Amino acid sequence: MTGPARTMYAMRATGPDPARLTGERIPVPEPGTGEVLVEVHATAVTAYELTWPDTWPVIPCHDMSGVVVASGGGVTDWPPGAEVYGLVGFDRPGAAAEYVTVPAADLAARPVAANHEEAAALPLGALTAWQALHDHAEVQPGQHVLVHGGAGGVGCDGEHRRAQPSPLRQRRSLAWPGSGL
């Protein structure tokens, strides 16, 4: 944060064309009740996300990893200095900025085995893999799963979920790499 006005550098998009991305100085957001202010150490771009907004300008990039610097009222889980990662809601300004406010409930502790760049690449792929395996496929212990496109973010996380302590650990899976977009 710079100066008494507390400004930050942010990438802003004024339309779906990536050529319309600009870097600007804007005010640092203040965390509201239930939110934390995170100093962004890494963020990730989701394919086609510049085609999603209904209004412009926007700050893109919603997967993020960073360090908590301040908390709004009612937040006790994330003290300043906590290393976190998460998915910023698509109805909020994204993380292509020095700071972002995020609901505390939308964050998790950064995995010890992942640096900030690796952690920032996880949230949307992890959420998609979780929804596919748990909500849609309703995978049960002992079932077999074939993960097509297993070299991508969602496929890699689907394989990672198999190794986690849960009933899914008892299923068998095979990942098959895809050809990309």
Over the stretch 65-105, which tens digit does the pLDDT of each residue have?
A: 999 999 999 999 999 999 999 999 999 999 999 999 999 99
Could you give all domains of the chain from N- to C-terminal order, each with its CATH number?
A: 7-113 (3.90.180.10), 123-176 (3.40.50.720)
- According to the model, what pLDDT value does residue 181 have? 47
Mean pLDDT of the chain: 83
Task: Judge if the upstream peptide bond of residue 57 is cis by omega within 30 degrees of 0.
Answer: yes
Helix (H, G, I), strand (E, B) or coil at 176: strand
Kindly report the pTM of this predicted structure: 0.77
Higher per-residue confidence, 181 vs 70: 70
Higher per-residue confidence, 95 vs 140: 95
Q: Minimum mean pLDDT among 97-101, 116-120, 169-173: which range?
A: 169-173
- According to the model, what pLDDT value does residue 169 have? 46
- Beta pairing, strands 172-176 & 144-148: parallel
Contact 10, 23 (CB under 8 A): yes
Instruction: Please report which confidence band the pLDDT of residue 133 belongs to, taking 50, 70 and 90 as the band edges.
Output: confident
Contacts 24+ apart (CB under 8 A), 107-114: 107/36, 107/38, 107/78, 108/84, 109/82, 109/83, 109/84, 109/85, 110/65, 110/83, 110/84, 110/85, 111/85, 114/85
